[in-house]
Structure 1
Amino acid sequence: METFWEVILRTAAAFVLIMIIARLLGKQTVSQMTYHDFVVTITLGAIAGNFAFNTYYHLWHLLTSLLLFSAIAYFLSHVSLKSRKSRKWISGKPTVVIENSKILEQNLRKLKLTLDTLNQELREKDIFNIEEVEYAVLELNGRLSVLKKPEYRQVIRKDLAIRTAGKEAFPVELIMDGEVIHENLRRHPELGEEWLNRELNKRNLTLADICYAVKGTNGKLFIDKYEDNIKKPIDKE
């Protein structure tokens, strides 16, 4: 029974430590898995797993290993941030795999990337003909970035000389799950609670009626109510 409670406490402690370490290492480790990040994630996971349930190892030894490896990972992240040469060694560098519709087979071999995988990555970007590709680059996180040839790119408003009405602002969330997000209101004094209350009164709404409210990039207030009034909603399993 004593071992049972020890495993529970160690598991909770491992979870808290990994959360703290993940925050210290930054969002990049979570969102972009470079060589460095991959090694860090795998090793920290293994140490944390032993920390949680392997009672044969001394707790302080595992804690020392976890903290020491985290310190090394943090140091390498700091070094790669400051030095471009070090960054290439620690995280690797992007590799061009297609140039002017020509597949660079030698680079594919270096990356251990097959033509089947390359074609799959292109199809996921709605590219079925390699002749459309000007450049294709395999990024540090393993994703493929593609620059199409000019004649295959989508037309944008600038190409059509259509002027936009003005600069779009970042959306401001105002209400979530029926609760006002006061922090966002404080950051935007031009809004404020009085303004929000007036807008709700105009629509004959109360906080209890609202699931989500946001001031969009176009400056308009969008409100999603709990009552959707949809007679036959789509129910996806």
Structure 2
Amino acid sequence: MLYRPFIVFTAGYLLLRVTGKKAVSQMHSFDLLYIFVLTNIISTPVEDSKMGKALTYAVIIVIFYKILIRLSLHNKLRWILYERPTVLIRNGDIDRKGLKKVRMPMNELLSHLRVKGFTDTQNIAMATMEETGSISVIPKSEYRPVQPNDLNLRIQKEYVPIPLIMDGQIIYHNLKYLQLEQSWLMNEVGKTGNNVENILLATYSENGKLFIDDNELQNHKNDPYYYEPGKDN
């Protein structure tokens, strides 16, 4: 009762790790079919005693899927394995044939555009449904966001703060990466009067300082910029 589900779950996890990220992100048709088939196969031993045969079939399915992925890298075969993108809007004009092909009603198209931050179809240079079913939107040049390059501005390289404490636990491999000692971290935390266990997030900033976000919310005394919906205000 206990070891069989554990073995099946572990085997399924390892097979998905071998498969790669692509199969569990935005899926193509055979990606989705692969997940369905693999799920059905690896769940069989929970109800049946033929665990060895089921796991063998699962490995074969993974190998077959990996072969299909490798074949899809060739341009000639890619157009057979994958569906082509479908144009939904071109130069501000809605493509009715494209909408009919993907069986998308107008209100759904407008919803996708709002999610992307666009409210007027006339401002769209091209909107397409990609192979994965996601909607990509390219605005007309006069409606796209202004880029620093448009204003001849030189922008500093983006720095990503490095987490050193998350959910009250020290991230030791990040300390090692930054060549920092735990004593330095504890000293910085002590300066703020906090304990590591109470810190939700602490990150290493570009200026070499530690930014700490603890679990406590400040009382903003009815500041309208901190309004929260509901009766708790």
Q: TM-score, normalised by structure 1?
A: 0.80
Alignment partner, residue 11 of structure 1:
5
RMSD (Å) for aligned C-alpha atoms: 2.9
Residues 1:47 and 2:41 are matched in the alignment: yes
* Aligned counterpart in structure 2 of residue 68 of structure 1, from 37, 60, 63: 60
Gaps of 5+ in 2: none
Change in Cα spacing, 1:78 to 1:219, as seen in structure 2 (3 Å) is farther
Change in Cα spacing, 1:193 to 1:91, as seen in structure 2 (3 Å) is farther
Aligned residues: 226
Alignment partner, residue 159 of structure 1:
150
Structure 2 distance, partners of 1:33, 1:218, is 41
Alignment partner, residue 86 of structure 2:
95
Change in Cα spacing, 1:154 to 1:177, as seen in structure 2 (3 Å) is same
Structure 2 distance, partners of 1:44, 1:183, is 35
Residues 1:114 and 2:108 are matched in the alignment: no
Residue correspondence of structure 1 range 163-174 to structure 2 within 5 A: 163-164=154-155, 166-174=156-164
Structure 2 distance, partners of 1:46, 1:131, is 46
Gaps of 5+ in 1: none
Residue correspondence of structure 1 range 26-45 to structure 2 within 5 A: 26-45=20-39
Asked whether the 8 Å contact 1:93–1:139 carries over to 2, the reply is yes
Structure 2 distance, partners of 1:78, 1:194, is 49
Change in Cα spacing, 1:23 to 1:235, as seen in structure 2 (3 Å) is farther
1:194 CA displacement: 4.5
Give, as a single letter, the amino acid of the residue that structure 2 aligns with 1:90. Answer: L
* Aligned counterpart in structure 2 of residue 210 of structure 1, from 167, 178, 199: 199
Identity between Structure 1 and Structure 2 (%): 31
Asked whether the 8 Å contact 1:25–1:77 carries over to 2, the reply is no
Residue correspondence of structure 1 range 125-140 to structure 2 within 5 A: 125-140=116-131
Q: TM-score, normalised by structure 2?
A: 0.81
Residue correspondence of structure 1 range 190-209 to structure 2 within 5 A: 191-209=180-198
Change in Cα spacing, 1:149 to 1:74, as seen in structure 2 (3 Å) is same
